Amino acid sequence: MKHCYAIGGRINFNPSNISLCHGIDIGDQIIWRVGDKEEFTPEYYIRKTEEIDALNQTSKAICKGCSNLINDDKKNKIEVITICPMEYCQNRCVYCECFSGSKKESYNPLPIIKEFVQKGMIVENCLFDWGGGEPTFGYLFEDIFTYLLNAHYMQRVNTNAIRINSTLLNNLDNDYVSLRISLDAGNRETFFRTKGTDLFDDVVKNISMYRKKTDNIVLKYLINSMNSDLRSVRDFVNLAKTLKIKTICIDTEIRSYGALNYNGPLFFSDRELKAARFLESYARENGLTVQIGYVWTSHDFNTPSRDFNNLHDIRDLLTDYEQYSLPDKLYPAQIKRLKDFTNDIFAVPLSSYEYLVHLLKNKKVILYGADENGRRLLERMKKDCFCIKAIVDENLKGDIEGVHIISPSQLMEQLDDETVVIITLYKARDIILNFNRQNFIQLKDKLYKIDSSRF
Ligand code: SF4
Ligand code: SF4
């Protein structure tokens, strides 16, 4: 019989739905959505998981293709619960989109959790894994955290450490709480580039405060094309040592590493793989415990890709978890994807408007895209006294706010050493591929992209 650890063994409280998994092979298995007529209750959960489990034994298996569907025992109690019902965050990590929501949770998971507890459906050693957004900013964080602490459940709080949460700080010296912090950088410049805020020094100070209370902290480095410079990687390890951190986790970014149809400007090449491998060896040389996250298995369909289950001790999160391997080389699908960029013309994704100002404040700018987002960015940049030379649009003619609209074919005439191009349109990948096909080599190192949620 084919079963999965998540069907009957896991619940994810997400901002707009409840799912069984955050599956990297075939996507999340969503079982309830905010606004559904039926309430999410233990009975509802049992019915849904039994339906999915039964279907998975047939030719209509809805988890077909997932590496977690294996010959295994069926789970009858919940071992992992992730709590991430809001999407507010101060950072703008270049690989993330969970930052533009409200601090207010879209529903309250606590009464639901209590019902599951009363019905004996949660194992004693269940791990409650906090995410988001920045979970410590949620209106319900203190209530739920304190309830779980008093009930002696293990909790891992994934926090950005931009602000110290005093409830968390005051309750770290026990056997139930672990912290995981994605620093993703070893210095201020790489942090700003990757996370969109110039708050590296504050975060380091706060990690140091948390570290004084507990050694149960994992520092994470999520490798992507914005932080794969070896200086940052080396600085990160040295910093971890200075902060007396024992364990680091090397992970990667699911879309540019994993998704074949990824439409954004991040990319994964040999440089990123080299950075990951260097980080692993340099950290080990320096005596750190190194974890390799499960996202690295997203092209390896024979390895069940999961983060954890059946944890026995919160300290195991420092040692026994995320024990995957880095690949030796890029996968054929990744090589093929890179080859589409025939002339090595890529766009640098801008993590935030603040980073855009920091990086490009002395440049002349051409905006690519005169839709609502392009116009909004134009307005903002003009207020900040940027020199906007032109705005590109295929269909429009004339001026917008005194800035001349040009056609894509006129773009190259406007370029000079001081000018950069910022794409504001969603489908950046098609535009960049087109630049490669047309061999617009003058655009190399002059091309940027910003998503509308970042400004
Ligand atoms: S088999 Fe895969 S898709 Fe199905 S619930 Fe498990 S992890 Fe999710
Ligand atoms: S810290 Fe970064 S990855 Fe985490 S929620 Fe905020 S923006 Fe997303």
**pLDDT per position as a tens digit, 344-401:** 999 999 999 999 999 999 999 999 999 999 999 999 999 999 999 999 999 999 999 9
**What ligand is nearest to the CA atom of residue 96?**
2
CB of 93 sitting under 6 A from ligand 2: yes
CB of 18 sitting under 6 A from ligand 1: no
- Structural domain spans, the chain: 2-319, 348-454
pLDDT of amino acid 110: 98
Provide the 3-class DSSP secondary structure of residue 430. Answer: helix
CB of 265 sitting under 6 A from ligand 2: no
Ligand 1 center–CA 191 separation, angstroms = 34
> How far is the C-alpha of 370 from the C-alpha of 415, rounded, in Å?
18
Helix (H) or strand (E) holding 81: strand 78-83
Atom of ligand 2 nearest to the CA of 133: 5
Q: Do domains 2-319 and 348-454 have the same CATH topology?
A: no
> How far is the C-alpha of 62 from the C-alpha of 56, rounded, in Å?
6
How much is the average pLDDT of 31-49? 97
The CATH number assigned to the domain with range 348-454 reads 3.40.50.20
CB of 20 sitting under 6 A from ligand 1: yes
Mutate to test the pocket of ligand 2, among 134, 295, 352 (most ligand atoms within 8 A of CB): 134
CB of 99 sitting under 6 A from ligand 2: yes
CB of 23 sitting under 6 A from ligand 1: yes
CB of 80 sitting under 6 A from ligand 1: no
**C-alpha 189, offset from chain centre:** 19
pLDDT of amino acid 307: 67
How much is the average pLDDT of 307-328? 86
pLDDT of amino acid 72: 86
Which of the pair, 212 or 260, is modelled with greater confidence?
212
pLDDT of amino acid 141: 97
Is the distance from CB of 44 to CB of 36 less than 8 angstroms? no
> How far is the C-alpha of 95 from the C-alpha of 29, rounded, in Å?
22
How much is the average pLDDT of 310-336? 91
Q: Whole-prediction pTM value?
A: 0.95
pLDDT of amino acid 309: 67
Q: Write the DSSP assignment of 209-222 as a string of letters.
A: HHHHH-S-EEEEEE
Atom of ligand 2 nearest to the CA of 160: 1
With a pLDDT cut of 90, the percent of the chain lying above it is 86
Residue 300 has pLDDT above 90, yes or no: no
Ligand 2 center–CA 31 separation, angstroms = 25
Atom of ligand 2 nearest to the CA of 195: 2
Rg (CA), the chain: 23
With a pLDDT cut of 70, the percent of the chain lying above it is 99
pLDDT of amino acid 23: 80
> How far is the C-alpha of 386 from the C-alpha of 252, rounded, in Å?
34
Identify the residue whose C-alpha is closest to ligand 2 atom 5: 133
pLDDT of amino acid 24: 79
Backbone phi, psi, residue 284, to 5°: -65, -45
The residue with tokens 């047309």 is: 438
Q: Please, which pLDDT band fits residue 237 given cuts at 50, 70 and 90?
A: very high
pLDDT of amino acid 305: 75
pLDDT of amino acid 259: 82
pLDDT tens-place string over residues 91-131: 999 999 999 888 999 999 999 999 999 999 999 999 999 99
* CATH code 3.20.20.70 for 2-319: yes
Ligand 2 center–CA 358 separation, angstroms = 20
Identify the residue whose C-alpha is closest to ligand 1 atom 8: 21
CB of 159 sitting under 6 A from ligand 2: no
pLDDT of amino acid 217: 98
Mutate to test the pocket of ligand 1, among 14, 18, 24, 25 (most ligand atoms within 8 A of CB): 25
**What ligand is nearest to the CA atom of residue 157?**
2
CB of 67 sitting under 6 A from ligand 1: no
pLDDT of amino acid 71: 87
How much is the average pLDDT of 328-348? 93
**Mean pLDDT of all residues belonging to the chain:** 94
Q: Please, which pLDDT band fits residue 413 given cuts at 50, 70 and 90?
A: very high
pLDDT of amino acid 126: 96
Residue 187 has pLDDT above 70, yes or no: yes
CB of 84 sitting under 6 A from ligand 2: no
CB of 66 sitting under 6 A from ligand 1: yes
pLDDT of amino acid 308: 67
Picking from 148, 179, 185, 147, the residue whose alpha carbon sits closest to that of residue 164 is: 179
Mutate to test the pocket of ligand 2, among 22, 89, 184 (most ligand atoms within 8 A of CB): 89
Ligand 2 center–CA 255 separation, angstroms = 15
Residue 165 has pLDDT above 90, yes or no: yes
Helix axes 141-150, 109-118, angle to 10 degrees: 20
Is the distance from CB of 3 to CB of 11 less than 8 angstroms? no
**What ligand is nearest to the CA atom of residue 130?**
2
